[in-house]
């Protein structure tokens, strides 16, 4: 499974993605560049349900994600 993070207007910086399953467990993920300004986060869900993504850019959590 994957999700996309649009970075086109973010500028230069370090991006960290944290994914949690419905039970709160941290999931391993891989971040790849899908195209310029677009990151793709690839992960394998272990349980069904709502997963939460936290995007951190230059050590700051991005709100509204």
Please name the helix (run of DSSP H) or strand (run of DSSP E) that holds residue 30, with its range, or none.
strand 29-35
The pTM (predicted TM-score) of the whole model is 0.78
Is 43 in contact with 19 (CB distance < 8 Å)? Answer: yes
Could you give the CA distance from residue 2 to residue 22 in angstroms, rounded to a whole number? 16
Q: Which domains does the chain have, with CATH numbers?
A: 2-61 (2.60.40.10)
pLDDT tens for 8-46 read: 788 888 889 999 999 999 999 999 999 998 999 999 999
Could you give the CA distance from residue 63 to residue 65 in angstroms, rounded to a whole number? 6
């Amino acid at each position: 499974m994957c999700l996309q993070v649009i970075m086109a207007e973010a500028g230069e910086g370090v991006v960290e993605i944290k994914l949690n399953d419905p039970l709160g467990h941290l999931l391993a993920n891989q971040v790849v560049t899908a195209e310029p300004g677009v990151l793709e986060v690839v992960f394998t869900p272990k349980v069904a349900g709502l997963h939460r993504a936290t995007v951190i850019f230059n050590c700051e959590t991005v709100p509204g994600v």
